[in-house]
Structure 1
Amino acid sequence: MKMTLALAVLAASAATGALAQDFGFAGREFSVDLGVGVDVGPDYPGSDDAEAGPWLIWRNAGFTQPGSDLREGFAISPSFNMVGEREAADNADLAGMADIDAAYELGLRVSYGAGPWTTFGSVRRGFDGHEGVTGEIGAKYRTDLSDRLSLWSGLSLGYGNGDYNDTYFGVNAAEAIPGRPAYDIGGGFNKATISFEARYSLTENVALLGEVEYGKLIGDAADSPVVQDEYQPALKLGIVRKFSFGF
């Protein structure tokens, strides 16, 4: 599965770069950071327990002038995410709730870079654990502290359609008990996140990547009787390699 996703990322990145000349990007190159790491965060949306899982990374996709790391203009790249399984037996607060398998989300991310700023939007469709649609919109600002160390500060809003939100935040009649009433939820924004990301270059193309996220459930998701903690922090550490495609 991981190898298939990695190949899909490379293929989509190459295809995106191949379209560059049609949109006036001739003379630039398309680059993206790809890698793997560890993600420590809530084991399911709304959980107050942390769990470590794999982090399949791509970051900073976009067009640059040769020799520059500043992404300029529009770029399209794959977007994916993994959501851990939810098992009622692991938490007394979930007694009587249906188990949810781990979910794999696949979709697209569109970004626009202008100097140190990058705005982005992503949309993904879930498989296995949920079959809904989810994604984010947001912006990041880049600060170069040295030739090797760069920081990104970001804000984003997460979204889920009715199927997604109902899977993780809904309670049906069969699951309702005293203190956990039935709860019907529709689509909408469900999470606001502040993030801080650091990239330290080991070589010209290889770098260490770290990210701290501080998320908070919002809207109807935050009011769900299933939610044990509205605050959803996460820590990610990994290693990436830069891939570039010149046109």
Structure 2
Amino acid sequence: MKLALCLTLGLSALAGAAAAQDFGLSGDRQFSVDLGLGVVGKSTYPGADDAEAQPWIIWKNASFGGTAKEGLSFGGSFGMVGSRDEDDDDALIGLEEIDRAYEIGGKVSYRRGPVNSYVTLRRGFGGHEGLTGEVGAKYRTELSDRVTLWSGLELGYGDDEYNDTYFGVSSDEATAGRAAYSAGGGFNKAAITFEARYDLTENLAVLGEVEYGKLIGDAADSPIVQDEYQPALRLGIVRRFSFGF
């Protein structure tokens, strides 16, 4: 209920800002997105104290009416959570294997000046079938025609299905040193983010991201969590695609 209330309030606030907006669909109608590949260094699994390098499939800045600089915009939100099994870490011995999960959903953003606030919501397929997403805001600083920086704050959330999949311990998985645990829905991570973009050409760019996150709520209390602090470092290259309609 708390999660639903927070999401409702966030979406209502963004919707209220839509007054007198054309949602980016008037004039030159188009869908734009940054697609690319890179590498990310992050925890072996959510809550681990060890890190590893993993592929980073990049889908960013997807929106309808890509030329709009201000106001409300809508776009897709896609995510992927890697598989997890007991071979990844000794702390996972005795826990059931979780397959790779793919997440599909949407994003609502409101941009005013250098500030961009957003709410995302995705549904999982495969490893989990719950709902997850983020609420956050970023501040843009343009250092030059080619270099842009963003600093932001973000809260991640998941419903009962999502949080219990990655932070819960069933009665069958419980051991003498690990009690059964049920993780309820709600916010599960708070993060400070820093992003940099260097435009090589009009449509090609190099991206770098640093995220300093901390597990919160039921996620932080899980017996499988070895470290609440979950930093991540990403580096990749993207190309901007725009489709008129």
TM range (shorter): 0.7 to 0.9
Is structure 2 residue 236 aligned with structure 1 residue 238?
Answer: yes
Percent identical across equivalent pairs?
64
Q: With structure 1 as the length reference, what TM-score do the two structures score? A: 0.83
Q: Say if 2:48 is the partner of 1:44.
A: no
For residue 195 of structure 1, what is the aligned residue in structure 2? 193
Quote the Cα distance in structure 1 between the aligned partners of 2:54 and 2:91: 23
Pair 44,90 (structure 1): closer, same or farther in 2 beyond 3 Å: closer
Q: Tell me, what secondary structure is at the counterpart of 1:211?
A: strand
Tell me, in whole angstroms, the C-alpha distance in 2 between the residues paired with 1:23 and 1:195.
27
Spell out the pairing of 1:31-110 with structure 2 (5 A cutoff). 31-62=32-63, 71-110=69-108
Q: Distance in 2 between matches of 1:24 and 1:106?
A: 22
Q: Indicate how the Cα distance of structure 1 residues 71 and 55 shifts in structure 2: closer, same or farther if over 3 A, else same.
A: farther
Change (3 A) 1:72 1:63: farther
Amino acid at match of 2:236: G
Partner of 1:214: 212
Residue correspondences, number = 225
SS of the equivalent of 1:168 reads: helix
Residue 224, structure 1, aligned to residue 222, structure 2 = yes
Q: Within 2, Cα distance between the matches of 1:183 and 1:136? A: 24
Q: CA deviation at 1:131?
A: 1.0
Q: In the superposition, relative to structure 1, how do residues 127 and 37 fare at CA in structure 2: closer, same or farther (>3 Å)?
A: same
Q: Indicate the RMSD between aligned Cα atoms, in angstroms.
A: 2.2
| Structure 2 residue matching 1:46: 3-state secondary structure | coil
Gaps of 5+ in 1: 1-19
Distance 1:65 1:168, change over 3 A: closer
Choose which of 171, 179, 182 in structure 2 pairs with 1:181.
179
Map of 2:167 onto structure 1: 169
Structure 1 residue 23 displacement after superposition: 6.4
Deviations 1:1-26 (A, max 9, x none): xxxxxxxxxxxxxxxxxxx9676743
Aligned residue for 1:173, secondary structure, equals: coil
The answer for the alignment partner of 1:7 in structure 2 is: none
* Distance in 2 between residues matched to 1:119 and 1:31, nearest whole Å: 18
Residue identity in the other structure for 1:195: T
- Could you tell me how far apart the structure 1 residues matched to 2:165 and 2:63 are? 34
Quick check: 1:124 aligned with 2:122?
yes
Match of 2:110 in 1: 112
Following the alignment from structure 2 to structure 1, what is the Cα–Cα distance between the partners of residues 223 and 103? 25
Alpha-carbon spacing, 1:28–1:106, altered in 2? closer, same or farther (3 Å): closer
> Does the aligned pair in 1 maintain the 2:195–2:209 contact within 8 Å?
yes
Q: What is the CA–CA distance in structure 2 between the aligned matches of 1:24 and 1:166, rounded to whole Å?
A: 39
Shift of the alpha carbon at 1:61? Answer: 3.8
Contact 1:32 1:58 in 2 (8 A): yes
Decide whether the 8 Å contact of 1:62 with 1:72 is kept in 2. Answer: no
Alpha-carbon spacing, 1:196–1:22, altered in 2? closer, same or farther (3 Å): closer
Find the counterpart in structure 2 of residue 13 from structure 1: none
Question: Closer, same or farther in 2 for the Cα pair 1:211/1:118, shift >3 Å?
Answer: same
CA pair 22-127 structure 1, distance change in 2 beyond 3 A: closer
**Per-residue Cα deviation, 1:167-191 (whole angstroms, up to 9, x for no partner):** 1111111111122111112100000
Q: Which moved more, 1:70-79 or 1:21-30?
A: 21-30
